[in-house]
Structure 1
């Protein structure tokens, strides 16, 4: 019966999303001259980008793993040490690393999620000059720059190498104007220079901008983006300063709030996300359908395609840390007796169809700041920042006595625990030069994903999608 219900919803989703795809074409009725004079038209374009980032089927089409930016964050986490799926079904191709290969349709998920939206951002930036004085247009340009910079960051760390030591190696093509001509890949340094310039200008332009809700990007979000970029680039002092500024106006969640389910964009730690309503939901092609193990109408809870935490990571969580309650203990759960050991109950949508997407939380900035402080030689401050957030999760936690690599590893571990399932784990593994280690004694990983990959392997870089290789004669492929 559940399968029949799911199929009916799938058909409804596909029909509604085809209409939405047509409605979000940003170039159908607005020309450049109109854009240059109209704040509302430019705002409509930016809102179209935000809509696309939570829409179904725009990157791959007909694939229930394709529901925008949140689907990308989820797919990348499935490639990490920290998460597993119990069945070879949706997200299985990311879990077993076949999705990164050019012949897989999954290889275009990241590419097709961001490049079309970069095109829309370029249209706005072409219409609004950098010396604009109108306050509304300044805010629109600032959002367009922040989005373009962040999208290139997502592309660079997916299809390109890590930044440090690879500055002259090939990354991704740069498009800053509307064109139908494919370009060659730029170097990492060229791509990151564009990213930095976009985000720095956006931070200036968004000063004083007050957004209506957390669906839009404001100055704090742009600062958070640049903090992440500087961490990747090894510019640690700047990363620490920006991370602190980005998080400063946000309060940390209490235990009750943290364990609510992460479905409410109005949560006091949410910096950026997407509001989902009964009218915009894509139901089974959605984050909660795949990651809410408690929902019997979704893939996870309804068909037993559970998303679980790695056993080693679970065991590393202190018993006095309330975040351990976000996962089913080995002895089972009284509240959810049907779920297997280590199943996540962190993500739960009590509305069933209207759970919001949270893209970025202020808590992430504590770990960016702490790691950056430690790497820039200020270990005392790094320990204090780590303590500030950890003691709110684990009352028994005491100020760290670690130093050097041991301190940094502690910061990274706490980050993995806090942000499990939120899109940080795989990108951090790649940046930090960690290996994939799933095949170990007592591992709870599924057989089709139970393997190890050494640090620095080509498998930590996605290949260019086959369609891009076929269409662009200047494109150079990454190794298999």
Structure 2
């Protein structure tokens, strides 16, 4: 598209070609596209290229995982000298030049991926004869799921939540590769389109290898009895959790339906994941292991889907979470407040493992710390992943969907996660308001530095609560990021 602010890329698994302008983008030649989509391998490369692009620092490799949403929800402390240049973001200064650059790059990156899903989807049906086995359905299903997933995150950032204004003008839902401007859709229209894409994806992925009993989730360097994720003779069908597999799509649908307010459909999709018992809770011995090469800090086996980000190791641990307080850090009392250590949270294994004291008052964030000898799974317990959807969030969704009809059952879903993290059950929530307060606390504990808490506050239209009880009132000027200026001007928004 010519006026929507998007880069059009020739996709490959490892590299991308970008245009030098935001506007008047030159499309790929017909020859280039014909060559790329003339073989099954070309479709595979195009699909894997979208995941590779999503793992870059401006999207899920950093910004949408440990970056902007986590800063906005007050999950870090930042020194006044602000080496990171995120302090204005933390203070909601949306006219700050560094914030605007990052925010515009997020928009651009999301739509970059969306346009390239459309390139696949516009070619794949006419080339169905190229595919062997179930690869046609898998590639098309994942492309549809990606299109919905990327649009949904654009919606969650750049438009009001449906609880506040479901008929508000939101974002363009782009379903074709064209030089015409895509009209803006309303919030409800975008959600319906996301759901339609994901429901189609779910149907297409019905025979996903991850659904087979022989597919056993485990660590990549585990013995064959504990892990079969690398056993498929087709490299393309290995490590299904690195891509939007069947269960990840169900989890994403649960997330989208809940955002829309359809708790019945959200619960139905959450229960598909829970009832499958495909994703094992992490053994405490793996989480608490002393040696980095034996340690699982991110509850790897519980990931329904994650972005593979080995290239981000140095940036995470040298620039973002270094073993000093020049960038993102916490104070000791912050961690005690998050994990409620004055009560049952004193035994929370996340509190003991995700933060290391630097001095008497400050701590370094260890959640993504890797073995310094290497970035690959050979030197670590598992791959370096940016969590996309995890099992515990599915339990939180089930709890929220259940509370009003069966509060005891809802608390049981919360307590299942708490038990796995070595903390006592919650007392009965006396009201929906109290339940939501407790739920948001659990989101912060479990999904710290994963980018999801901001969206939970926004979805429920709740005040953001700081570490020490500071209250930031729910405000659309905070929850809704402004569109890029060029999108407004040249897209005629």
TM exceeding 0.5: yes
CA RMSD of aligned residues (A): 3.3
The Cα shift of 1:282 comes to 5.0
Q: How does 1:212-223 map to 2 (within 5 A)?
A: 212-213=238-239, 214-223=241-250
The CA deviation at 1:312 is 7.1
User: Deviation digits for residues 430-474 of structure 1, max 9, x if unmatched?
Assistant: 111122344968x7xxxxxxxx642133221100112323322x2
Query: Quick one: which of 462, 465, 472 aligns to 2:484?
Result: 465
How much does 1:121 deviate? 0.1
Shift of 1:180: 3.0
Deviations 1:323-343 (A, max 9, x none): 221355xxxx6xx54584354
- Separation in 1 of the partners of 2:336 and 2:42? 51
The offset of 1:374, in angstroms, is 1.3
Does 2:17 align with 1:22? yes
Deviates more, 1:131-140 or 1:189-198: 131-140
Q: Distance in 1 between matches of 2:431 and 2:473?
A: 23
Distance in 1 (alpha carbons) for counterparts of 2:353 and 2:452: 18
Change (3 A) 1:263 1:150: farther
1:79 Cα deviation from its structure 2 partner: 0.6
Q: CA distance change for structure 1 residues 349 and 339 in 2, over 3 Å: closer, same or farther?
A: farther
Aligned to 2:155: 156
Once residues 339 and 426 of structure 2 are traced to their aligned partners in structure 1, the CA distance between those partners, rounded to angstroms, is 21
Cα deviation code 1:356-401 (max 9, x no counterpart): 12323222211111111114x1223212222222112125x13642
Is residue 68–residue 113 contact of structure 1 (8 Å, CA) maintained in 2?
A: no
Matching residue within 302, 306, 314 for 2:338: 314
Q: Distance in 1 between matches of 2:96 and 2:271?
A: 38
Matched, 1:393 2:385: no
Residues 263 and 171 of structure 1: is their aligned pair in 2 closer, same or farther, counting only changes over 3 Å? farther
Checking the alignment, whether the CA contact within 8 Å between 2:195 and 2:253 is kept in structure 1 is yes
Cα distance change, pair 291–366 in 1 and its aligned pair in 2 (3 A)? farther
Pairwise CA distance, 1:93: 4.0
> 2:70 maps to what in 1?
77
2:451 counterpart SS class: coil
SS at match of 2:64: helix
Aligned to 2:176: 177
Cα distance in structure 2, aligned partners of 1:30 and 1:117: 21
Taking the aligned partners of 2:296 and 2:320, their CA distance within structure 1 comes to 11
Report Cα offsets for 1:225-250 as digits up to 9, x if no partner. 11110111111122122123224310
Contact 2:297 2:354 in 1 (8 A): no
The correspondence for 2:454, drawn from 426, 437, 445, is 426
**Inter-CA distance 434–267: structure 2 relative to 1 (3 Å threshold):** same
Aligned equivalent of 1:243 = 270
What is the total number of aligned residue pairs between the two structures? 419
Within-5 A mapping of 1:189-268: 189-210=188-209, 211-213=237-239, 214-247=241-274, 248-259=277-288, 267-268=300-301
- In the superposition, the TM-score normalised over structure 1's length comes to 0.77
Q: 1:379 and 1:137, CA in 2 relative to 1: closer, same or farther beyond 3 A?
A: same
Rounded Cα–Cα distance in structure 2 between residues aligned with 1:30 and 1:316? 60
Provide the C-alpha distance between the structure 2 equivalents of 1:378 and 1:130, rounded to a whole number of angstroms: 49
C-alpha change, 1:195 and 1:412, in structure 2 (3 Å) is: same
User: Residues 382, 205 of structure 1: CA spacing in aligned structure 2 closer, same or farther, 3 A cutoff?
Assistant: same
Aligned-pair CA distance for 1:124: 0.8
Q: Runs of 5+ in structure 1 lacking a partner?
A: 1-18, 57-65, 295-300, 444-451, 476-480
Alpha-carbon shift at residue 72 of structure 1 (Å): 1.5
- How many Å separate the matches in 1 of 2:364 and 2:71? 14
Q: Relative to structure 1, is the Cα distance of residues 41 and 307 closer, same or farther in structure 2, using a 3 angstrom cutoff?
A: same
The answer to whether structure 1 residue 413 and structure 2 residue 444 are counterparts is no
Normalising by structure 2, report the TM-score.
0.76
1:371 aligned partner: 400
3-state secondary structure, aligned to 1:176: coil
Closer, same or farther: CA 365–229 of 1 in aligned 2, 3 Å = same
The partner residue of 1:273 within 303, 306, 329 is 306
Instruction: Confirm or deny: 8 A CA contact 1:30 1:41 kept in the other structure.
Output: no
Query: Per-residue CA shift, 1:29-75, capped at 9, x if unaligned?
Result: 8655566663321111110001111235xxxxxxxxx3645422222
In 2 relative to 1, CA 312–185 (structure 1 residues): closer, same or farther, beyond 3 Å?
A: farther
CA offsets 1:407-434 (integer angstroms, 9 cap, x no match): 3322332221111111111111111112
Give the aligned partner of residue 4 of structure 1.
none
C-alpha spacing 1:35/1:287, structure 2 compared with 1 (3 Å): same
8 Å Cα contact 1:265/1:358 also seen in 2: no
Deviation at 1:94, TM superposition (A): 2.8
Partner of 2:370: 349
Paired position in structure 1 for 2:410: 382
Match of 1:325 among 336, 341, 352: 352
Counterpart in the other structure of 1:137: 136
